Every structure is written in C-alpha cells, then in structure tokens.
C-alpha cells in the first residue's frame, strides 16, 4: 500500500512540475534595459497620403506617452528615426524577429516598441430642431503596439488601444439672416473625399496612442507609479 501511495504521489508531483514548467515566467523588462520607440505604420492602398500623416502623428504621440508613462529610459523617436533613415530602414511594414535584432543593433537598445494603426473610421450624426440642425463628426481609431526583445526577437508584450473623438457644429438648414451662419473649421485631413477636422482626428489618434501604451506597459509592470 505504501509503495502504491508513493507511486501515486510521485505521479502527482510529476504532473505539477510539468504544468509549472509549461507556464512561462511573468513577462518583464530586464532592469537597466534601454528601449527605443520606432515609427509605426498604417498599411493600406487607399488614402495613402493621409495614412502617412496619421502614422506620423501617432508615432509622435506614442513616443510622448512612452516617455511620460514608462519607468525605463526611452530613446526618443527623433533619435531612432534619424538612425533608421540613415540606413534606409522602413519600420512601417511587416517586422519579423530578424528585423527586430537588426534594428536593436543599429539603435543599440535592448527592446523596441513598434506597431501600426489597425483601424480608422468616421461617421456623421445629425440632430435638428425646427430650422437649426446640429452636425457631429465622430472619428474612431485603434492602434496595436508591441515591445520586443532585440536580442532574441521575441515579443514581450502587446496592447491594443482605442480612441474616439466627436466634434459638434451648428449649421442652418434654411439660410435665414435671423440665425446667421454656423461655425466652421478648417479641415486638416481628407479621407474618402470627406474633410475631417484636424483637431478631431488628432484627439482620436492621441487617445488611441495613450490607451495602447498603457495596455502595452501594464502587463509587464513598466508603468510609472503615480502619487
């Protein structure tokens, strides 16, 4: 009986050991590591000029958010961009493990943060009372970020953030002098023949950037502690 119990207990401990071995250790960044933020992309065959502008804007916001929220030293986007441009390296397309290692050696960092704008959309909402109509423009964006170890090419953490913004302007359906004219703003972006206000688009992109950075850093305990 004792022998059977010994065999049974041995089997149990073996199963526990196998289960524990199968679970990876908690992901994290090695103390004293250096991290670089590199330009993100926004792939697609339409609205190519606007996609490039949005990717550039998002990259700037992500760099700022990483600098403010990360408790590790961050190489600035400008430094990374200059080094990558000098070597003719494009980080806005697909990036694999070999690319990560190459970029890490070039920038002399242990980790890189990269990603892309995964979705961007807009729609209009209208509400009206009598002859006065209120138009709202809603912009939504999503950004996926990853942080990878440049020594191994493996992804340490990933996060998907969302951002939305809404601007409202009053317009007059019937051009009556009594009501005057509605407020207007200078459009900064063109998308599918629609003019999207710059402030609205930038706000949505910024919120998506901040959200993606937080979701990227939180699982690996990289967020600065706030008082």
**What's the residue count for the chain?**
227
- Rounded to an integer, what distance in angstroms lies between the CA atom of residue 113 and that of residue 33? 13
How far is CA 96 from each of CA 30, 86, 89, rounded to the nearest angstrom?
21, 20, 13
User: What mean pLDDT is predicted for residues 11-16?
Assistant: 43
Tens digit of each residue's pLDDT (9 = 90 or more) over 148-171: 999 999 999 999 999 999 887 654
Q: What is the pLDDT of residue 30?
A: 83
Distance CA 55, CA 53 (A): 5
* Nearest CA-CA partner of 62 in 153, 163, 180, 195: 163
Q: Are the C-beta atoms of 179 and 134 separated by less than 8 Å?
A: no
Residues 38-87: tens digit of each pLDDT: 999 998 888 899 999 999 999 999 999 998 888 888 888 999 999 999 99
Determine the angle formed by the axes of helices 198-217 and 48-69, rounding to 10 degrees. 50
Give the CATH H-level superfamily of domain 32-220: ABC-type transport auxiliary lipoprotein component (3.40.50.10610)
Region 123-146 average pLDDT: 80
Distance CA 92, CA 115 (A): 8
Residue-wise pLDDT for 87-108, tens only, equals 998 888 778 889 999 999 999 9
pLDDT digits (tens, 9 = 90+) for 18-45: 333 333 334 578 888 899 999 999 988 8
How far, in Å, CA of 222 to CA of 196, rounded? 35
DSSP 120-163: EEEEEEEEEETTEEEEEEEEEEEEEEEEEETTT--EEEEEEEEE
Provide the 3-class DSSP secondary structure of residue 196.
strand
């Amino acid at each position: 009986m004792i022998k059977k119990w010994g065999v049974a207990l041995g089997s149990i401990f073996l199963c526990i050991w196998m289960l524990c071995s199968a679970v990876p250790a908690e992901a994290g960044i090695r103390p004293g590591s250096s991290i670089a933020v590199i330009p993100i992309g926004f792939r697609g065959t339409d609205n190519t000029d606007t996609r490039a502008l949005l990717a550039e804007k998002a990259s700037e916001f992500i760099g700022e958010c990483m600098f403010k929220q990360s408790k590790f030293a961050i190489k600035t986007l400008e430094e990374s961009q200059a080094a990558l441009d000098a070597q003719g390296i494009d980080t806005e397309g697909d990036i694999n493990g070999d690319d990560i290692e190459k970029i890490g050696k070039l920038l002399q960092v242990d980790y890189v943060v990269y990603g892309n704008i995964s979705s961007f959309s807009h729609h209009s909402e209208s509400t009206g009372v009598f002859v006065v109509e209120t138009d709202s423009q809603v912009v939504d964006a999503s950004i996926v970020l990853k942080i990878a170890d440049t020594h191994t090419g493996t992804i340490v953490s990933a996060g998907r953030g969302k951002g939305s913004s809404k601007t409202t302007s009053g317009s007059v359906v019937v051009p009556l002098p009594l009501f005057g004219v509605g407020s207007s703003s200078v459009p900064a972006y063109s998308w599918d023949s629609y003019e999207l206000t710059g402030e609205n688009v930038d706000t949505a992109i910024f919120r998506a950037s901040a959200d993606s950075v937080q979701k990227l850093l939180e699982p690996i305990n990289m967020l600065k502690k706030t008082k």
